[in-house]
Amino acid sequence: MIQSMTGYGKATIIFGEKKINVEIKSLNSKAMDLSVRIAPIYREKEMEIRNLISQSLERGKVDFSLWVEKDASETATPINAALMNNYYEQIKAITETTQIPMPIDLFTTLLRMPDVLTKVDIQELSDEEWATARQAINEAIEQLICFRKQEGEALAKKFEEKLSNIEALMQEILPYEAERVVKIRERITAALEKTLSVDYDKNRLEQELIFYIEKLDINEEKQRLANHLNYFRETMASGHGQGKKLGFIAQEMGREINTTGSKSNHAEMQNIVVRMKDELEQIKEQVLNVM
């Protein structure tokens, strides 16, 4: 069954004091268009992440995010109490020696001294943490693929509805097609007998009428269109990754419908052709979302 290129997946896994979050979403695109935002600690794995996504999702405009939330006790910047006390003793000694008064907000002053507030970041990625992060990535991708399958089922139902509508409209053409031949003959005969008032060879006229009507015959177009409709259904059922092929089939369907319209030479038939074009246009719009 076909899959949509639209999808969304998210996964969260706890690793020690960290919460590893992965979010991935995709829209339609002619090829793989991948954008990634990765927490600094995982940047060394960016190529591996890109390959994993590309192999799993194949096509689409994909946005991928991987970020980490840490426990507040771990993220808080530590205060170097020993260094702070050392600065205090120095300021106190200078004040006593120079008679310069102590700062009013001494604590704030001490916090601004060099290296009192020291941020310690551990940037090394362990094999265990990467295995956990990779598991989260796989889970998010799997969720997105499930989303794509559900959307693909909805698209398949929509396509089937439109294909059936086109088939029904083809059947509506049949009575007008037979009626058209009679009207063409009557119109030409009346023009010769009443308007032009000339004598004519009826056998020759019949031959010319047959030739003219054969040029307007749409049986081949109807047969080819029916074949394209069936091929579209077969392609949908053959599996995912058929979006481009379905687009080509829809183009061929359009050729036959357009040719039918140019040969119609009948108001009611042309109205039906316009309705067929409308159904096909909706198929073409949705085919762009098929992977």
50 domain-assigned: yes
Q: Give just the sign of the alpha carbon dihedral 83, 84, 87, 89.
A: negative
Within this chain, do residues 172 and 145 fall inside the same structural domain, yes or no? no
Last residue of a domain, one of 111, 135, 170: 111
What pLDDT, on a 0 to 100 scale, did the predictor assign at position 101? 85
Within this chain, do residues 189 and 229 fall inside the same structural domain, yes or no? yes
135 domain-assigned: yes
Within this chain, do residues 64 and 85 fall inside the same structural domain, yes or no? no
56-101 pLDDT, tens digit each = 998 899 999 999 987 655 556 677 788 888 888 888 888 888 888 8
Pairing of strands 7-15, 18-27: antiparallel
Cα–Cα distance between 127 and 124 in angstroms, integer? 10
Fill in the DSSP letter of residue 193. Answer: I
Q: Nearest to residue 266, comparing CAs of 213, 211, 204, 192?
A: 213
Domain that holds residue 104: 78-111
Within this chain, do residues 200 and 241 fall inside the same structural domain, yes or no? yes
Within this chain, do residues 61 and 97 fall inside the same structural domain, yes or no? no
Within this chain, do residues 190 and 164 fall inside the same structural domain, yes or no? yes
Q: With contact defined as beta carbons under 8 Å apart, do 7 and 148 qualify?
A: yes
Q: Which residue stretches of the chain have pLDDT < 50?
A: none
Angle in degrees, CA 139, 144, 146, rounded to 5: 95
CA 287 to chain centre: 10
131 domain-assigned: yes
171 domain-assigned: yes
What pLDDT, on a 0 to 100 scale, did the predictor assign at position 213? 65
Within this chain, do residues 145 and 155 fall inside the same structural domain, yes or no? no
Within this chain, do residues 66 and 159 fall inside the same structural domain, yes or no? no
121 domain-assigned: no
Residue 176 φ/ψ, nearest 5 degrees: -70, -30
Within this chain, do residues 200 and 255 fall inside the same structural domain, yes or no? yes
Within this chain, do residues 34 and 85 fall inside the same structural domain, yes or no? no
Number of domains in the chain: 3
Cα–Cα distance between 4 and 283 in angstroms, integer? 14
Within this chain, do residues 68 and 171 fall inside the same structural domain, yes or no? no
SS3 72: helix
What pLDDT, on a 0 to 100 scale, did the predictor assign at position 285? 94
Sheet holding 60-70, edge to edge: 7-15, 18-27, 60-70, 32-38
1 domain-assigned: no
Within this chain, do residues 261 and 178 fall inside the same structural domain, yes or no? yes
Q: With contact defined as beta carbons under 8 Å apart, do 192 and 205 qualify?
A: yes
118 domain-assigned: no
CA 122 to chain centre: 38
